[in-house]
Amino acid sequence: MSSVSQTFMKFFRGSSGPETIPAQGSQKLTRRSSGLGELARSWETAEGLCVLDLGSTSPTNIRHFTERGHRIYSEDLLTASTDPELPTTDEQGNAVLDSRKFLADNLVYPAAHFDVVLCWNLPDYLDESLVKPVVGRLWSVLKPGGMLLAFFHTRDAGPDSPCHRFHIVGPDTLEMQKIELRREARRGPTGAVHTAITDGFQLQRVFNNRHIETLFRDFASIKFFLARDNIREVLVVR
């Protein structure tokens, strides 16, 4: 594994960004994605790739990959992180989510199984206690040379940036659909599970470049794409 100092980093300015073309339905926007464009070259030329989509179940993405003869796995980790069995406390008494239990129930795949992982904006919205364990697991399930695409908000995006689902609608084009609501389940003091409909997922933090490099330090290379919409796209190679 290469250290971060050995990583191959590039910055592209103004090559990605949203277009103000409303897609079908008022909640959808399309945006160009340079990271997706680079990643797409792998699945347009290779055969039988194994792809893991960690966003909300997207019929569009499933169709996109199956039409090209690839196998796609769908696993909505943000929704899985609302499991009422997960909240616990750490040694200091802080409220955290149980990462061991989370990884016992999710991302359970053989080592070096995937060619591509579509992480989307998961790290920005996932509970702090799960981020590093999840990235560690993703490293192990990616094949050497496999690629992972993730999006990170910049500070300018603001704390109320909505969480989106991402649908692949072109070689370098995504349709973004705002997640308005989510079902949240919490276990009460009597042990009963209470469910409630709450607003969509909240931005948990803003990673800067150094944080992102640290997060992916076990990977062989990392490449940044800066977009006009306060999103940093990151393409990581194991």
Partner 1 sequence: MSAPSSAPASGLAQIGKSVFIKGELSGSEDLYLDGQVEGSIALKGNSLTVGPNGQVKASVEAKGVVVQGKLEGNVQASDRVELRKSAVVTGDISTQRISIEEGAYLKGKVDIHRTDIK
Which residues of the shown chain bind partner 1 in the complex (CB under 8 A)? 57, 59, 62, 65-66, 69, 71-76, 79-80
59 or 144: CB nearest partner 1: 59
Q: Around Cβ 45, how many Cβ atoms within 10 Å? A: 8
We find the least distance from the C-beta atom of residue 173 to partner 1, in angstroms, to be 19
> Cα separation of 19 and 235, whole Å?
21
71 or 132: CB nearest partner 1: 71
31 or 64: CB nearest partner 1: 64
Helix (H, G, I), strand (E, B) or coil at 109: coil
We find the least distance from the C-beta atom of residue 143 to partner 1, in angstroms, to be 16
We find the least distance from the C-beta atom of residue 174 to partner 1, in angstroms, to be 16
79 or 88: CB nearest partner 1: 79
> Cα separation of 212 and 165, whole Å?
21
We find the least distance from the C-beta atom of residue 81 to partner 1, in angstroms, to be 13
167 or 223: CB nearest partner 1: 167
- Interacting residues of 169 by C-beta distance below 8 A, sequence separation 6+: 23, 30, 60, 175
We find the least distance from the C-beta atom of residue 3 to partner 1, in angstroms, to be 34
Contacts 24+ apart (CB under 8 A), 44-51: 44/68, 44/171, 46/115, 49/115, 49/116, 50/113, 50/114, 50/115, 50/116, 51/114, 51/115, 51/116, 51/117, 51/118
How far are the Cα atoms of 116, 142, 157 from residue 43, in angstroms, in the given order?
Answer: 9, 15, 31
